[in-house]
């Protein structure tokens, strides 16, 4: 399946504000300026499919955002307008709308458990391509959550908001995801990656020890397997833990409790598929630790090696890559100035991320763009980005 790329030429903030005024202005007297919240998409440098295994990951926020402009209402109704689709939906707290509005309703429902929320009129605009593995849905959740808190004059720290949005995605939308996407969109800082321990939920901002840029190669494809394959992997990891616990007699609650030695000692208890799934997760946690230290030290070659190692492991052991992602990583690896590349996100399509020498970013982008359609596919798209900050309210003037 191929996707349409979103309109990246105009700023989502101004489109959200214009969408709010065009759709809702004049319905009721507006005493105040709109609230405006933005939340970024993310890429993950290393740490693929570790989050739901209590593991480690190293994402960064990209400078592409979902923007939500909002006015308060004096009832508890939410009216939401998606400027990118030209659709408007109205719902009250008991309703469960479908599609993009499901995310809005789920966030409002979870936040209402902890804070007293008003209804709101919302307009949403985005330049995070959807279906590209860049967490457009987490960015939507975080921006909506921040906007709803803003209109209600409530505050919540970013960790609390990220956890609320994660619960919204799991409970409201039914995806068995880990915390990676919501924490990245909520907590990242400019010019740094986020080292995240998904078990303790502790995190640390790892500033880049030098000039690096990020290149995203969006393959433009999402394969049918994306949803079912993801949930299969969650189940296979759970089964591998249960088998290893029974074989070792140890109290193992997740693959985070397993290291390579333990896995190798009890490899015979696992069938080949479960062994390889576990080997990916266990080795990936090690790659995150390596990349975290190397990134801070400015040793980008070592970060790059961890990224290539991660891609191979996701391709061969975890089996969540696809031909287009492999081609994107191969193309990046042949380009001078690229330290490393891997698939990012759930897989079966979506995007690859490359870590690039900052001084060569423009050239690398041009070179990869020149051959991306012949090498990766006609729907592929390439863009450079800089590590950006997490969810925030911004001034509307």
Residue ranges binding ligand GLA (CB under 6 A) = 44, 48-49, 51-52, 177-178, 180-181, 345-346
- Judged by DSSP in three states, 125 sits in strand
Question: How far from the centroid of its chain's Cα atoms is residue 91's Cα?
Answer: 27
List 127, 181, 257, 317, catalytic entry:
181
Q: At what angle do helices 180-187 and 158-167 cross, to 10 degrees?
A: 150
181 as an active site residue: the answer is: yes
Closer of 137 and 146 to ligand GLA (Cβ): 137
Least separation in angstroms between CB 250 and ligand GLA: 25
Least separation in angstroms between CB 34 and ligand GLA: 30
Closer of 151 and 354 to ligand GLA (Cβ): 354
Q: Over the range 86-112, which residues count as b (16 or more CB within 10 Å of their CB) and which as e?
A: eebbebeeeeebeebbbbbbbbbbbbe
Least separation in angstroms between CB 260 and ligand GLA: 20
Least separation in angstroms between CB 208 and ligand GLA: 21
**Residues contacting residue 354 through CB under 8 Å, at least 6 positions apart:** 214, 215, 216, 217, 332, 338, 339, 340, 341, 364, 368
In a 10 Å sphere around its CB, with 0-12 CB exposed, 13-18 middle and 19+ buried, how is residue 155 labelled?
A: exposed
Closer of 137 and 335 to ligand GLA (Cβ): 137
User: How far is Cα 42 from Cα 135, in angstroms, rounded to an integer?
Assistant: 6
Closer of 15 and 233 to ligand GLA (Cβ): 233
CA–CA distance from 17 to each of 5, 37, 178 (Å)? 22, 10, 32
Least separation in angstroms between CB 30 and ligand GLA: 36
Least separation in angstroms between CB 136 and ligand GLA: 10
Closer of 51 and 218 to ligand GLA (Cβ): 51
Which one, of 175, 180, 176, 182, lies nearest residue 161 by Cα?
182
User: How far is Cα 302 from Cα 264, in angstroms, rounded to an integer?
Assistant: 25
Closer of 65 and 81 to ligand GLA (Cβ): 65
Could you tell me the sign of the dihedral formed by the alpha carbons of 320, 325, 327, 329, in that order? negative
Query: Among all residues, which ones are annotated catalytic?
Result: 181
């Amino acid at each position: 399946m191929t996707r349409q790329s979103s309109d990246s030429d105009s700023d989502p903030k101004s489109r959200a504000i214009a969408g709010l005024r065009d759709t809702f202005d004049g319905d009721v007297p507006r005493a105040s300026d709109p609230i405006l919240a933005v939340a970024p998409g993310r890429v993950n440098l290393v740490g693929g499919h570790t989050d739901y295994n209590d593991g480690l990951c190293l994402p960064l926020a990209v400078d592409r955002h979902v923007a939500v402009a909002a006015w308060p209402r004096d009832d508890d109704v939410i009216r939401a307008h998606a400027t990118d689709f030209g659709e408007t939906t109205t719902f009250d707290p008991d309703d469960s709308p479908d599609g993009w509005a499901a995310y809005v309703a789920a966030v409002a429902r979870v936040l209402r458990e902890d804070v007293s929320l008003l209804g709101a009129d919302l307009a949403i605009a985005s330049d995070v391509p959807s279906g590209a593995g860049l967490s457009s849905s987490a960015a939507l959740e975080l921006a909506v959550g921040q906007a709803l808190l803003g209109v209600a004059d409530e505050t919540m720290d970013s960790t609390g908001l990220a956890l609320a949005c994660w619960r919204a995605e799991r409970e409201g939308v039914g995806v068995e995801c880990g915390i990676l996407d919501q924490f990245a969109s909520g907590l990242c800082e400019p010019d740094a990656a986020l080292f995240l321990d998904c078990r303790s939920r502790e995190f640390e901002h790892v500033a880049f020890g030098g000039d690096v840029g990020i290149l995203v190669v969006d393959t433009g494809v999402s394969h049918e397997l994306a949803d079912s394959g993801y949930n299969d992997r969650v189940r296979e990891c759970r089964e591998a833990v249960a088998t290893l616990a029974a074989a070792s007699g140890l109290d193992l609650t997740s693959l985070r409790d397993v290291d390579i030695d333990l896995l190798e000692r009890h490899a015979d208890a696992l069938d080949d598929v479960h062994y390889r799934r576990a080997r990916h997760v266990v080795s990936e946690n090690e790659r995150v630790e390596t990349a975290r230290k190397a990134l801070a030290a400015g040793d980008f070659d070592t970060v790059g090696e961890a990224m290539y190692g991660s891609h191979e492991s996701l391709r061969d052991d975890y089996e969540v890559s696809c031909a287009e992602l492999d081609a994107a990583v191969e193309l990046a690896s042949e380009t001078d100035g690229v330290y490393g590349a891997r698939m990012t996100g759930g897989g079966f399509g979506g995007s690859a991320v490359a870590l690039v020498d900052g001084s060569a970013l423009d050239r690398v982008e041009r070179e990869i763009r020149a051959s991306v359609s012949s090498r990766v596919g006609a729907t592929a798209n390439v863009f450079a980005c800089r590590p950006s900050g997490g969810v925030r309210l911004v001034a509307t003037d």
